[in-house]
Amino acid sequence: MSIEANIDDQTGEELGYLMKKLMSEGSYDAFFTPIQMKKNRPAYKVTALCNPLDQEKITKLFLKYTSTLGVRYQTLNRTIMKRHFDSVETEYGVVGIKIATYEEIKKYSPEYDDCEKIAKENQLSLAEVYQLVSNEWQKNKEEVI
Amino acid sequence: MSIEANIDDQTGEELGYLMKKLMSEGSYDAFFTPIQMKKNRPAYKVTALCNPLDQEKITKLFLKYTSTLGVRYQTLNRTIMKRHFDSVETEYGVVGIKIATYEEIKKYSPEYDDCEKIAKENQLSLAEVYQLVSNEWQKNKEEVI
Amino acid sequence: MSIEANIDDQTGEELGYLMKKLMSEGSYDAFFTPIQMKKNRPAYKVTALCNPLDQEKITKLFLKYTSTLGVRYQTLNRTIMKRHFDSVETEYGVVGIKIATYEEIKKYSPEYDDCEKIAKENQLSLAEVYQLVSNEWQKNKEEVI
Amino acid sequence: MSIEANIDDQTGEELGYLMKKLMSEGSYDAFFTPIQMKKNRPAYKVTALCNPLDQEKITKLFLKYTSTLGVRYQTLNRTIMKRHFDSVETEYGVVGIKIATYEEIKKYSPEYDDCEKIAKENQLSLAEVYQLVSNEWQKNKEEVI
Amino acid sequence: MSIEANIDDQTGEELGYLMKKLMSEGSYDAFFTPIQMKKNRPAYKVTALCNPLDQEKITKLFLKYTSTLGVRYQTLNRTIMKRHFDSVETEYGVVGIKIATYEEIKKYSPEYDDCEKIAKENQLSLAEVYQLVSNEWQKNKEEVI
Amino acid sequence: MSIEANIDDQTGEELGYLMKKLMSEGSYDAFFTPIQMKKNRPAYKVTALCNPLDQEKITKLFLKYTSTLGVRYQTLNRTIMKRHFDSVETEYGVVGIKIATYEEIKKYSPEYDDCEKIAKENQLSLAEVYQLVSNEWQKNKEEVI
Ligand code: NI
Ligand code: NI
Ligand code: NI
Ligand code: NI
Ligand code: NI
Ligand code: NI
Ligand code: NI
Ligand code: NI
Ligand code: NI
Ligand code: NI
Ligand code: NI
Ligand code: NI
């Protein structure tokens, strides 16, 4: 489900802090959308996506950590790809690979956190690390998904 | 409920005028979200939040004052904090205080219009007025909500 | 209905290509909304509006042409104006006119593609072409809608 | 010239108030741009365009009415069209017309404030008023600019 | 240099048309930035980047194809990477490769138009084509830049 | 000075990583602005503000960690308020206070990092901590700036 509020009486600093809270307390995802409200007010819509079982918990985060007097809910249906985890060895260490499938569609993506760690330790750009991982993955995959 | 339309064939001047209409004719709130449409068109999504009883009235505002050929509806469930109104006396006049509670969560905020009036009359910034009101409120509150 | 996904691991070039796919494969409309995600990631929400009968087809476009692992659905109710098509003759050629009505509200708008063609062929701005069409339309309309 | 600051520790309400101040104290124009700053902070860049003679005055508005600790300046060169004012009589009253020329390019636009007044008094949309004014203007112009 | 104008009295359709004009008449690049102007007006800043020798030509495009009464200029200094063009053969055809270098920094990127063509003809996503090209490039490069 | 590039061929994940690099390698500030580029591409403008002495260093971060083939520079003049650091004791610990002055204008703001620490350790919202600090500061200030 999604939980939302429009915020025009809170600072960016406070919303940056809220983002961390929303993510660490169990939202699937959280994001800000720039909007324009009445009386020339630049504002942000805050959205959290979460499990319906967490509605009460996430609602209370909104009410405690933002200035809003209420939140709006929407129930969302979803189609989710099947996920499967694998890994490749690179010269800089092991990187997890997420493989996703839906009927004939197949995608894979390296785990962000593994790649970031390698990028940092080796002064590489993320793009360079993804390239490296991708080369390694292409060589070795014998994946029957 | 929310009523929405994407607008790519109307000017910002016209949308600024629409904002006033939506607010003065009974929307709870109205806001613009910048979006990017087909054929390289920069556009705006217009959203009005309103009481379901006003659906017909607000729909007609959209159809009359925008170029859209249709509007989209969503029903939104909401959690709303309990509200209670109080006031404080400052050296520049009385300011309303909105007190909101939900279980153990408690927030208060000064009324914007009162603060704006004081800011204007005394060449203060809004932040200075809020500070002042907040000091006064902290001193005197004996609020048992 | 609307089909959506938040994208933080794909490039603008890829999303520009996706826009064409979504439009050419039967979405009513498609648009991007700038959003801000966790870990300082600037991102885009991709939304397609489509007939519920096309849900499966459009879902597969998202899964094949974006990096997302899932999509979210919302069912939207709509109010649509009645449409009626007419045309005017201008010195540069015929231009279609879309006439829309809802109770006492009546609007008309020239067809974009016809106007773009005239603009291109005659080195005019779109605004000049709309003006021209509008003059012609005002003169000749005897429209009983 | 342009005067700018990035604001992440102020509310939309305060920025809405700032907008009025900037416009009433002599900026040519003022606008907000949504930006994304460090630490997941959604923010706004505030820009005022003004006469270089007003640099000190507008700078002080920024320092007094925003939370910023400094402002950035840029000197901008401009090309401006020649302007000339005229008017048309409509059934609802007189409307000013701004005529702008630059070499062979010629544009005209009705005065927004006149049109807004007519729209309000006669329950018309702005688009309807512009149409009306435009028709009248087309009929009567004998303008040798 | 950059040439800019803020537009609040023109439609997204007209700006989409302007984009094509700006690109086809010799701008290096052109882009729209969502901004928020006075009187609750959602608007767009239009920016074109161009060679200073084209200032007059691009200025006239702004004055003819937008509603603005003036444009603002800024002179921009730039650091540009050295570019070098190469190509790889894939099973679907030849793809150009742009190689860019600046001191010890080296990057390459496949030509978008070549990749788009392959994607379209073979029902692939752009990401799949880039992956393919990248594999081929990694295998064969013996590039001494 | 400001250093900028428009990015349409890089992901949000990569830009989130870039933000950290720009801040940790000595930019004064860095921010993303959503823009809309040619061919329906949603994109981001990346801006770093830095000391002119760091131009070469920050330029190389752009060239290494983004896909851009060049960067644009602007020299910015600035007016900066005088800063002075103080602190207050609260029941939860000491908080730094930044006091800024420019002629008769005077502002103070609590240090974000101190407040965030207190918020985290005591399960408070940032707004609650700022309120607390502000109360304490109002009581004790005898500041002759
Ligand atoms: Ni409010
Ligand atoms: Ni496996
Ligand atoms: Ni249209
Ligand atoms: Ni009370
Ligand atoms: Ni991801
Ligand atoms: Ni007819
Ligand atoms: Ni700050
Ligand atoms: Ni005249
Ligand atoms: Ni205007
Ligand atoms: Ni070569
Ligand atoms: Ni490119
Ligand atoms: Ni001191």
Q: Residues D115-134: pLDDT tens digits?
A: 999 999 999 999 999 999 98
Averaged pLDDT for residues C34-40: 98
Q: What's the CA-to-centroid distance between A99 and ligand 2, angstroms?
A: 8
Q: Which of A141-145, C33-37, C102-106, D67-71 has the lowest mean pLDDT?
A: A141-145
pLDDT digits (tens, 9 = 90+) for D58-97: 999 999 999 999 999 999 999 999 999 999 999 999 999 9
Considering every ligand atom shown, identify the ligand nearest to the alpha carbon of residue A140 and give its number.
Answer: 2
Asked if the C-beta of E102 comes within 8 angstroms of chain F's C-beta atoms, the answer is: yes
CA distance C68 to F112: 35
Q: How far apart are the first and last CA of chain F?
A: 30
Looking at residue C121, what is its pLDDT? Answer: 96
- Chain D contact for C140, CB < 8 A? no
Which is it for strands F2-7 and B70-74: parallel, antiparallel or unpaired? unpaired
> Ligand 7 mean position to F6 CA, how many Å?
25
Contact E15 B39 (CB under 8 A): no
Q: pLDDT, tens digit, for every residue of E22-57? A: 999 999 999 999 999 999 999 999 999 999 999 999
Q: Does C34 touch chain B (CB under 8 A)?
A: yes
Do the chains contact at A34 and D11, CB–CB below 8 Å? no
User: What is the number of CB-based contacts under 8 A between chain D and chain E?
Assistant: 59
Residue with tokens 């005022």: D48
pLDDT of residue C144: 42
pLDDT at position D66 is: 95
d(CA B135, CA B141): 10
How far apart are the C-alpha atoms of A23 and A45, rounded to whole Å?
Answer: 16
Q: What phi and psi, each to the nearest 5 degrees, are found at residue E120? A: -65, -45
Q: Which two tokens stand for residue A32?
A: 């800000």
Give pLDDT, residue A145.
Answer: 41
| Cα of B104 vs its chain's centroid, Å | 25
How far apart CA D139 and CA D135 sit, in angstroms, is 6
Ligand nearest to the CA of C115: 3
Cross-chain residue pair F41–C7, CB shorter than 8 Å: no
Question: Ligand 4: distance of its center to the CA of A67 in Å?
Answer: 19
Q: Is C139 on the interface with D (CB under 8 A)?
A: no
How would you label F19-29 residue by residue, b for 16+ Cβ within 10 Å and e otherwise?
bbbbbebebee
Smallest CA–CA distance, residue C69 to chain B, in Å, is 23
Chain A CB within 8 Å of residue D9 CB: yes
CA atoms within a 13 Å half-sphere pointing along the CA-CB vector of E126: 24
| Tens place of pLDDT per residue across chain A (145 aa) | 999 999 999 999 999 999 999 999 999 999 999 999 999 999 999 999 999 999 999 999 999 999 999 999 999 999 999 999 999 999 999 999 999 999 999 999 999 999 999 999 999 999 999 999 988 888 776 554 4
Report the gap between the CA of E106 and the closest CA in chain F (Å): 8
Which residues from chain B sit within 8 angstroms of residue D34, using beta carbons?
A: 34
Kindly report the number of other CB atoms within 10 A of residue E121's CB atom.
10
pLDDT at F74 over 70: yes
Ligand nearest to the CA of A13: 7
**Predicted local distance difference test score (pLDDT) of residue F135:** 86
pLDDT at site D78? 96
Query: How high is the pLDDT of residue E141?
Result: 66
Is F112 an 8 Å CB contact of chain A?
yes
Q: What is the model's pLDDT at position B25?
A: 95
Cβ atoms C86, C107 nearer than 8 A: no
Q: Which domains are delineated in chain F?
A: 2-74 (3.30.70.1380), 82-140 (no CATH)
Report the 10 Å Cβ neighbour count for D140: 11
Strands, E, within B1-145: which ranges? 2-7, 29-37, 41-49, 70-74, 77-80, 82-90, 93-102, 105-110
Q: How far is E55 from chain C (nearest CA, A)?
A: 20
Mean pLDDT of F117-138: 92
A40/E42 touch (CB, cutoff 8 Å), yes or no: no
In this predicted structure, what is the pLDDT of residue D141?
65
CA dist., res. E72 & res. E60, Å (int): 13
- For the segment C34-47, the average pLDDT, to the nearest whole number, is 98
Q: Which residue has the higher pLDDT, F131 or F4?
A: F4
Alpha carbons C92 and C72: distance in angstroms, whole number: 46
User: What is the spatial distance between Cα E26 and Cα F62, in angstroms, rounded to a whole number?
Assistant: 26
Residue A127: its chain F contacts at CB < 8 A? 10, 14, 67
Per-residue pLDDT of chain B (145 residues; tens, 9 = 90+): 999 999 999 999 999 999 999 999 999 999 999 999 999 999 999 999 999 999 999 999 999 999 999 999 999 999 999 999 999 999 999 999 999 999 999 999 999 999 999 999 999 999 999 999 988 888 776 554 4
**pLDDT tens for residues C67-100?**
999 999 999 999 999 999 999 999 999 999 999 9
D139 falls in which pLDDT band (50, 70, 90)? confident
Is the CB of A19 inside 8 Å of chain F's CB atoms?
A: no
Cβ contact, residue pair F131, B135, below 8 Å: no
Q: Which residues 49-88 on chain B approach chain D with CB closer than 8 angstroms? A: 64-65, 67
What's chain C's average pLDDT? 94
Closest CA to C33 of C47, C22, C21: C47
Q: At which residue do the structure tokens 């005077």 appear?
A: F106
Percent of chain D at pLDDT exceeding 70: 97
Residue list, CB under 5 A from ion ligand 10: E 86
Average pLDDT, chain D: 94
Considering only CB atoms, E78 lies closest to which of F9, F37, F71, namely: F71
Q: Helix (H, G, I), strand (E, B), or coil: what is residue B18?
A: helix
Q: CB of E45 within 8 Å of any CB in chain D?
A: yes
Q: Is E106 on the interface with B (CB under 8 A)?
A: no
Which is more confident, D101 or E138?
Answer: D101
Give the residue among D37, D82, D73, D35 at the shortest CA–CA distance from D54. Answer: D73
CB spacing of C73 vs A74 below 8 angstroms: no
To the nearest whole angstrom, how far is the Cα of E135 from the nearest Cα of chain A? 7
Q: By three-state DSSP, how is residue E136 classified?
A: helix
Give the pLDDT confidence score for residue B13 in this predicted structure: 96
Q: Number of residue pairs across A and C with CB atoms under 8 Å?
A: 59
| Structure ipTM | 0.95
CB contact under 8 A, D40 and C42: no
Query: How far lies A47's CA from each of A19, A69, D42, D131, in Å?
Result: 10, 15, 13, 40
**Chain C partners within 8 Å of E126 (Cβ):** 13-14, 17, 65
Residue C145: strand, helix, or coil? coil
